[in-house]
Amino acid sequence: MNLVLISVTLMVVVVGALLAFQAPANAALARGIGDPVWAAAFSFGIGFLLLSAIAIGRGGSPSLASLQAMPWWALMGGLMGAIWVLAAIWSVPRLGVVTMMSAMVLGQLIAAIIIDGGGIMGLETREISSSRIIAIVLVGLGVIVSYR
């Protein structure tokens, strides 16, 4: 494994840890204001402000033509993120952070192996190996174990 791959992997692990903190923070916000949808809206609003400031600071903007040329699913990331945040806000108080995050990761891995195996969304097709299937099964077992 080369240094770049290790560095990128460590960065993703750190960002993954942020997601574990995001879920209870958003759940606390929902409890405090009394509404999970408004909590998600505030969460996305703050993220929107940060990303807008960074984008404006960098200068330039995408053309309308480039956005119109994108496949419909390429513009669905925000919708998927909103669903993730709402699901996390709702499930953290019921499942706890470990079980919720494990279940989310299981769903991500199941979708990922389908995406990789089918070369879906413009990605290169990757082998659905027995080691990848075993990894997903182990995460599934982790979800079950985490209930206790």
pLDDT tens figures, 60-114: 888 889 989 999 998 899 999 999 999 999 999 999 999 999 999 999 999 999 9
Q: What is the pTM of this model?
A: 0.80
Strands (E), 60-133: none
* Whole-number pLDDT of residue 148: 77
Instruction: Name the phi and psi angles at 106, rounded to 5.
Output: -60, -45
Is it the case that residue 128 has pLDDT exceeding 90?
A: yes
Q: How many CB atoms neighbour CB 79 within 10 A?
A: 10
Longest dimension (CA), the chain: 52
> Residue 31 in contact with residue 89, Cβ under 8 Å?
no
Tens-digit pLDDT profile for residues 36-75:
999 999 999 999 999 999 999 998 888 889 989 999 998 8
> Residue 62 in contact with residue 9, Cβ under 8 Å?
no
Number of domains in the chain: 1
Range of the domain at 34: 3-146
